[in-house]
Every structure is written in C-alpha cells, then in structure tokens.
Amino acid sequence: MRGDLSFRRTALVVLVFAWAMAYLEAAVVVYLEGALGSHVGDIFPLRPANELGNLIAIEAGREAATLVIIGAVGILVGRSRLERLAWSAVVFGVWDIGYYAWLFVFSGWPPTLHTFDLLFLLPVPWAGPVWSPIAVSAALIGVGLAAASAERSGRHLASNGRHWAVGVGGGLLVILSYTLDAPRLMDGGLPGPYPWPLFAAGMLLALAAAVDVLRGAGRATPVSPG
C-alpha cells in the first residue's frame, strides 16, 4: 500500500512512541509517590490493602490499560499476526527499559540493577531484581525487531506447536521466578533470594524457540493474481 511506512520508518515511530510512553509512566510514578508522601523505591514491605483502598484496583487497571495500549500499537502497525505480535514485543521492551531509565534520571532510583522492584500486580504481586525485566525486555526488542523485519521483507516465519509450547513454557518459568514470593509479599514480608536459575532456564527455552523460528525464515511465495 502506498501509505505504508518502510520498516526503518516504522521502527523509528514505534521506538519513539515507546520511549515517550516510558517517560509518561515514570513521571506519573514520581508524581504519585510524592502525593502519597513516600519516596520512589519505597516498595517493600507492601502497604496493606486497607491503607491503599481503591488505589490497588486503580493500579491493576492501569497495568491492564498499558497492555491494551501496547497491543493496539502492534495491531495498528503490523500487517500479519506475527508482525503485530513482534511490534507489540518491541513496544513492551522499549517501554520497560525506558521506564527504569527515566525513573533513574528523575529520582536516582533504582540505585543498582540488583535492586528489587514490584513488577506487576496481576493476578498476584510479581517481584524481582531490576536486571531481570531489563533482560526480558532486551530479548523482546531483539527478537521482535528481527521478526518484524523478516515479515515486512516478505520472508515467512513458520512456527509450529513445538515452538509455541517451548516458548510459552519458558515464559511461564520466568513468571514463576517472579511470583514464588507472592504469598510472603501479600503477608507483609520482604522478597527472598531471587531464583535466577529458574529465570535463566525460562529465558533459554523461550529464546531457543524464537531463534529457531527466525533461522527457518524463508522467502514468501508470490501469489499469482486471479
């Protein structure tokens, strides 16, 4: 289509959008922490639900809304199902890394990549050192850009049930590494040692599946008119 952007221009627009989105969220966190009379990074132990009231439900809704925004960008930019998924992965990765970068610029937090953060609330609290979501996001950006480039250039990415099973299984292991401490956190405790071997196993599985799909990318067969 004449109005379609090239891959490079599409990537630039997506990257700028995600970086701006990260700035917006980091700024909101700084404002919110100031309004609540706390400092950025004062996370654990978690505040009791009766103290925060409806803020927990609002925060969970904000997280869900963020995922909707990320998915919408992928749907609007991509031309195929896999390309839409790839662009969504890129937006998520840049947004997540940019969020920590802007937060550090605004407040000096996190002081190190080993600092623990509350990553997500749905359906239970997720917690882990900052380096771990950054590693996930870097992988999402790399794989997402490679997949989007392949799809945009006409190469077919063939994935099968085995790829999806291994990739989803790896992702679930990563999520498990974040949620093992959920009961302790909900009881007002502090995060324990991070189970990084579980995280590493999940990342290796997911990356192995993604790389196998990318390596098998072939040139699409032109469709004859009529």
pLDDT in tens, 45-74: 887 765 556 677 888 898 999 999 999 999
Model confidence band, residue 222 (pLDDT cutoffs 50, 70, 90): very low
Question: CB 111: neighbour CB atoms within 10 A?
Answer: 10
In the chain, the N- to C-terminal Cα span, in Å, equals 19
Residue with tokens 């990765």: 93
Which residues have CB under 8 Å from 134's CB, separation 6+?
96, 97, 100, 113
Structure token pair of residue 207:
């990356």
Among the listed residues 150, 218, 151, 152, the one whose alpha carbon sits nearest the alpha carbon of residue 4: 152
Specify whether the CB–CB gap between 191 and 127 falls below 8 A. yes
Inside any domain, residue 90? yes
DSSP 218: E
Rounded to whole angstroms, the Cα distance separating 104 from 110 reads 6
The 10s digit of each residue's pLDDT in 161-193 is 999 999 999 999 999 999 999 999 989 899 999
Residue 1 confidence (pLDDT) above 80 = no
Print the domain residue range for 23: 7-157
From residue 91, how far is each of 39, 125, 196 by CA, in Å? 28, 23, 25
Helix axes 131-152, 7-35, angle to 10 degrees: 150
Inside any domain, residue 217? no
Inside any domain, residue 14? yes
| Number of structural domains in the chain | 1
- The predicted model scores a pTM of 0.90
Rounded to whole angstroms, the Cα distance separating 219 from 153 reads 9
Strand, coil or helix: 117:
strand
Inside any domain, residue 226? no
The 10s digit of each residue's pLDDT in 100-137 is 999 999 999 999 999 999 999 888 999 999 999 999 99
Inside any domain, residue 193? no
Which residues have CB under 8 Å from 99's CB, separation 6+?
22, 25, 26
What is residue 219's predicted lDDT score, i.e. its pLDDT? 54
Inside any domain, residue 71? yes
Inside any domain, residue 212? no
Inside any domain, residue 182? no
